[in-house]
């Protein structure tokens, strides 16, 4: 059986939802991973049946389906410290309110609960997103930070997200956290600790996106194997490494696409992600969810890149053999 390929709409939220659906359908996508952003989805309208049906009707008109929705931007504000101008730019006025940091966190948590309810109404069982982190600011560990502060940061995550996950459980929906710098789980061992602190509850899993693994030096294939029971969703985003001795993993505060950076996001298939090995690993763990193209490339037009990335990833979407390749050796003449 071939996979279902979707286009993540987060990088397309400047376009009307119907226009994105039209483009994706024309390029051969099977569906959309719809972002709660722009006019694509509004979590606050989860209880408006006509609104929800209207989105499903748009998908149907363009022969598309939805298996997952995402709310990265709001999830970021649930745990972040500090809350500042960066969040005001991404969370929307309903969550930002008067900008009081704790108020923003509380409203973001309520928005994530509504996102679970919206997913249920859409017939979707997975929400992809970020969690934010109270301790990402200490990643350099200087000035010195005690172990108690770090543990308190993980506990803050658990305290804030367990009530959200209770609603996910109520709705029969799972949260797929994208392991990503600036989040509570950003690399291998922080993922292990994050799962531990919430008791490995099934409502919380992972969105496998290898792009940030590459520049951190994490093997994306081993990550699939080691966290196989938690891979709830897959996003295909690629990274090109340029570690020259001058260019570094930290990016030097340089803008995307600057050749002095040590790495950049590129259209899937044009970077250094070992895609074939990754697809083989996903098959080995019996992953049957959608394969979503998250298209980002500062040096390429998205109207060219999105269909090209789909074709590139489909090359690796071959099914398992019907019989062992050496079965013929055992035949008796």
- The residues pairing with 234 across neighbouring beta strands, listed in sequence order, are 208, 291
CA distance 205 to 224: 12
Strands 263-266 and 238-241, sheet pairing: antiparallel
Tell me: pLDDT of 213 over 80: yes
- Of 142, 233, 225, 156, the closest CA to residue 194 belongs to 156
Query: How many degrees, rounded to 5, is the angle at CA 61 between CA 58 and CA 67?
Result: 60
Q: What is the mean pLDDT of residues 37-55?
A: 98
Q: What is the pLDDT confidence band of residue 326, given thresholds at 50, 70 and 90?
A: low
* pLDDT in the model for residue 322: 74
This prediction's pTM:
0.96
Would 314 be classed as within a structural domain?
Answer: yes
Q: Which two tokens stand for residue 301?
A: 């037009």
Domain that holds residue 103: 5-238+273-318
pLDDT of residue 333: 52
Does residue 327 lie within any of the structural domains?
no
Domain count across the chain: 1
Q: Would you say residue 24 lies in a domain?
A: yes
Q: How confident is the model at residue 189 (pLDDT cuts 50, 70, 90)?
A: very high
Helix (H) and strand (E) counts for the chain?
Answer: 12, 10
Residue 279: name the closest of 246, 241, 308, 318 by CA. Answer: 318
pLDDT at residue 249, rounded to an integer: 95
230: left (phi over 0), alpha (psi -120 to 50) or beta: alpha
What integer pLDDT is reported at residue 2 of this predicted model? 84
Instruction: Please state, rounded to an integer, the average pLDDT across all residues of the chain.
Output: 96
234-257 pLDDT tens trace: 999 999 999 999 999 999 999 999
Considering the domain boundaries, does residue 262 fall inside one? no
331 within a domain of the structure (yes/no)? no
> With b meaning 16 or more CB within 10 Å and e meaning fewer, what string describes 115-149?
bbbbbbbbebbbbbbbbbbbbbebeeeeeeeeeee
* Residue 252 located in a structural domain: no
Nearest to 202 by CA among 166, 224, 174, 160: 174
pLDDT at 320: 76
CATH number, domain containing residue 35: 3.20.20.150
Q: DSSP letters of 175-218? A: EEEE--TTSS--SHHHHHHHHHHTTT-TTEEEEE-THHHHHHT-
Distance between CA atoms of 202 and 190, rounded to whole angstroms? Answer: 18
pLDDT at site 58: 98
Domain membership of residue 23 (yes or no) is yes
In this predicted structure, what is the pLDDT of residue 232? 98
In a domain, 243, yes or no: no
Partners of 127 in beta bridges:
69, 175
3-state secondary structure of 34: strand
Check whether 330 has a pLDDT greater than 80: no
Number of CB atoms found within 10 A of residue 61's CB: 12
């Amino acid at each position: 059986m071939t996979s279902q390929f979707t286009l993540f709409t987060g990088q397309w939220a400047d376009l009307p939802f119907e226009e994105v659906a039209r483009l994706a359908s024309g390029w051969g996508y099977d569906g959309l991973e719809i972002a709660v952003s722009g006019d694509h989805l509004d979590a606050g309208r989860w209880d408006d049946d006509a609104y929800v049906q209207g989105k499903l009707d748009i998908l149907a008109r363009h022969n598309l389906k939805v298996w997952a929705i995402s709310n990265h931007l709001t999830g970021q504000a649930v745990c972040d410290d500090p809350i500042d101008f960066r969040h005001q730019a991404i969370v929307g006025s309903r969550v930002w309110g008067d900008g009081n940091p704790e108020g923003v966190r509380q409203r973001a948590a309520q928005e994530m609960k509504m996102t679970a309810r919206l997913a249920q109404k859409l017939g979707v069982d997975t929400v992809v997103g970020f969690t934010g982190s109270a301790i990402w600011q200490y990643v350099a560990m200087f000035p010195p930070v005690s172990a108690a502060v770090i543990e308190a940061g993980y506990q803050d995550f658990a305290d804030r997200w367990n009530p959200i996950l209770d609603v996910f459980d109520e709705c029969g929906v799972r949260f797929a956290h994208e392991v990503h710098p600036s989040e509570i789980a950003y690399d291998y061992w922080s993922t292990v600790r994050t799962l531990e602190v919430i008791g490995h509850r099934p409502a919380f899993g992972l969105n496998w996106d290898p792009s940030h693994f590459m520049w951190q030096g994490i093997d994306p294939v081993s990550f699939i194997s080691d966290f196989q029971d938690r891979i709830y969703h897959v996003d295909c985003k690629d990274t090109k490494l340029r570690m020259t001795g001058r260019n570094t993993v930290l990016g030097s505060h340089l803008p995307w696409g600057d050749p002095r950076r040590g790495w950049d996001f590129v259209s899937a298939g044009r970077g250094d992600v070992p895609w074939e090995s990754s697809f083989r690993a996903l098959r080995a763990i019996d992953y049957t969810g959608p394969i979503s193209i998250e298209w980002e490339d500062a040096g390429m037009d998205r109207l060219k890149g999105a269909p090209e990335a789909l074709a590139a990833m489909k090359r690796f979407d071959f099914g398992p053999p019907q019989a062992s390749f050496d079965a013929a050796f055992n035949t008796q003449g």
